[in-house]
Structure 1
Amino acid sequence: MGASRDLRCLALLLLLLGLPAGAARGPVGTQRTGLLAEALRRLQEVFDIEALPHDVLPHKKPPQFMVELFHKVADSNGITKAPGLLEGNMVRSLEDRDYFDQSYFYFNISSVGKNEQMLKAELRVFKLNKNHMPQKSFWQHFLKVEVYEVLDRGSTPERRTLISSRLLSMYTEGWEVFNVTQTVSRWVGNSSVNRGFLISTTHVSKNKMEVNFVRFAKSQRNLRDSRNAFLVLFTNHDRQRAFHFLPSSTEFQPAAPDDAASSSLPRQNEVLANIRVNKSRRIRDTSAFSPRDPIVPCQLSDLFVDFHEIGWAGWIIFPRGYKAYYCKGACLFPLGESLRATNHATVQSIVHTLKLSKEVSTPCCVPDKLNSISIMYFDDNENVVLKNYKDMVAASCGCH
């Protein structure tokens, strides 16, 4: 992400948090700037994104099968419908990058990380219908399609290994899917051996054999075709192995306790995007209740993360944002069954109520069930990625 975009995001966050644009100047302003920069870095870590795509891609459309896959596994807010609908936790669709040879297909797999476990790889190609076929009665109805791994890429690749073959109807068109898992798994382990795929078709007429008489759709460099070939990768992304804090130019240092201005600094969890709480109220610290506030028991409250308003809408396809919710309210004695209090929380509430210890506070109102979300986005190579994120939505609250 470029410096100009960093500044735009920073200015936007300042605006959303109700801070004047000049707040980024001076000692306190520098502190706020550091806090907001740290918030952006932590937000990238939550979504496991090392670098944001450089450009927005409003002109580009995702493949239809990826759109259908998203709606199969998630609702309009990205909330996962049920576990196990998605094979693995990450799906990539890599578009064919060869624009010249009608039978040759090449896919750049450099975006696949070493920490990803390959579950399945599919080569998706669109078979074109052959029109104006003379003397159809002399042609066999089926043709043989063979998919090869290219071992030595040249003007005419001779060295190749057969991966898959099948019979197809001569007179129909549509998507064909070939399993290429073993080949692509080897490529991920050693990307230098990736020289692409070659697809050949053969069929027999009354007197002779015809080769490559039937074609598969290919896009041109400056003309995208919705039927272009894709390599679709289903992987398990080991976030624990990949997770690390992104490098920063300076370490964030919190303000000293006696800094009067520090009390106005937003909490880090309040900096997440332009989050609308209860739709009409600005974010504020709800960890303490003043005597004037009515006592509200621990419960879910509205919390919406809007990708458009933090400048991510240009590369996130679905959803526009999601309802994360958060837990708010008091955990006062006696804790009813609806608060799903732990035994420890029950004992703690008794100790606090009886004032057996001045240091013991009431239990905390926190999520006790979390749901996952799915997000579809463009990566920096313009590939479309569908990824599942665990523990992103508070589904219920309890006293702990």
Structure 2
Amino acid sequence: MIVPQFIFLLLNSGTDGSWVNQNRLLEFQVTPESGGHIGQDFRVREAVLWLKADIVRKQTTKCRVTDIYVFKVISNRLPESVTLSSKQFDSVTSDPIAVTLNQSNSGWQKIDLTQTVRTWLGETGKDKLRLFVDCSCCSHWRIHLFNEERDGLANPNRPFLVIHTDPNTAKRVRRRAIDCSVDSGNQCCKQRFYVSFKALGWDDWVIAPQGYYANYCRGDCGHHRTPDTFVTYHTHVIEEARKTQHLSGMTPCCAPLKFSSMSLIYYGPESTIIKRDLPKMVVDECGCP
């Protein structure tokens, strides 16, 4: 089994959640559906918050720059809705990250939250990451946080968080498949093979992952086999006919027996973000059918 190389977190939606200074907090939670769970043994290589910001008109304020600030909320005891003074706000938040919006870069913004996410996942008793987003000079921008008309699961512009994990330190599941090695010789086996989306020229529309182990099957199936190793009775009969009648053109092939799906995040029409689970993308097990 190939360990996922990223965890995809969509913004928690619905009426539940906290409001601070009339701003709705962004809440993210790791679930098995997102590609992991709290307490899972993996290393965060990079974590990026994707936030959509569209410019609606030229800047008319006196602000020199337009910065979006993202604060991590460290308090678990905030009421459902609260107004805080500057001093109170500083006591319940930490790790402010600032990103400057540029008029020539309207659209999806990437905010590096690597250290924030590492700290969050290393904390015990906190199953949600809560973020406060502030932009005091954003009157000429539309920041897609909770759009009144599309504040739901179908909203293609709501923020999302992508956590890239280190596959070398992720918890692995014991494999039953025969993997190719220096000792496998010409035996039918699964060859690990990494496909880079950048090398394919797909990095302009694929967001995550940067690539994955697609794998393939190689080796020979011409060795002697016992009846219990055949997947179907048909294959057993054909193999016996091939050997007794010396039919060299019917050589059995080493082929995939088991596949698994892979999640892909990519740009859709009109710069919408799509996350899709694609079936049969990874070869997990090879054999002689």
TM-score of the aligned structures, taking structure 2 as reference length: 0.41
Structure possessing the higher radius of gyration over alpha carbons: 1
Instruction: Compare the two structures and name the one with the higher strand fraction.
Output: 2
